[in-house]
Amino acid sequence: MAHAYIETTRSIQVSVRSFFLPDQSKPDEGKFFWAYQVRIENKGAEKVQLLRRTWKITDARGRTQQVHGDGVIGKQPLLGPGEAFEYTSGTPLDTPSGIMQGAYHMTVADTGEAFDVGIPTFSLDSPHQENRIH
């Protein structure tokens, strides 16, 4: 099982696991693909809604792309106390490793107060990466 990366902000716990997908990757063409599973759990007392997301994806050469959008996988989940939402998505890179980090932009359902929830930084590793000793 892949390592879980976990971060908690304002009683919202985000855990992520990433998986290299060899069947969708073409290393000889410089195409590498990962899936990542995310679980967002409301451990607080307020009902919250995920409205938008921001991702920063950095490849092994240090090139960064920013991804912004509404919700996750086309949804804007509403989470009551003790509820969780899970989804799986994916990302391609043209290097055999990289990292992802980001934030979910949420609101408190009753008050409309906006706040950001950190997504833990997680690595995208494949068996094709070069192991260098610095």
**Which CATH number covers residue 9?**
2.60.40.1470
Q: Which two tokens stand for residue 106?
A: 């949420």
- 114-117 — which CB contacts under 8 Å span 24+ positions? 115/9, 115/10, 116/9, 117/9, 117/10, 117/12, 117/14, 117/40, 117/50
Number of domains in the chain: 1
pLDDT over threshold 90, residue 128: no
Among 39, 58, 60, which residue's Cα sits nearest to residue 117? 39
Domain membership of residue 98 (yes or no) is: yes
81 in a structural domain = yes
> Residue 90's pLDDT band (boundaries 50, 70, 90)?
very high
pLDDT at 17 over 90: yes
* Bridge partners, 99 (sequence order): 58, 123
Task: Look up the domain containing 97 and give its range.
Answer: 5-124
Q: pLDDT class for 2, splitting at 50, 70, 90?
A: low
The proportion of the chain whose per-residue pLDDT surpasses 90, expressed as a percent, equals: 92
Whole-prediction pTM: 0.92
Q: Is residue 97 part of a domain?
A: yes
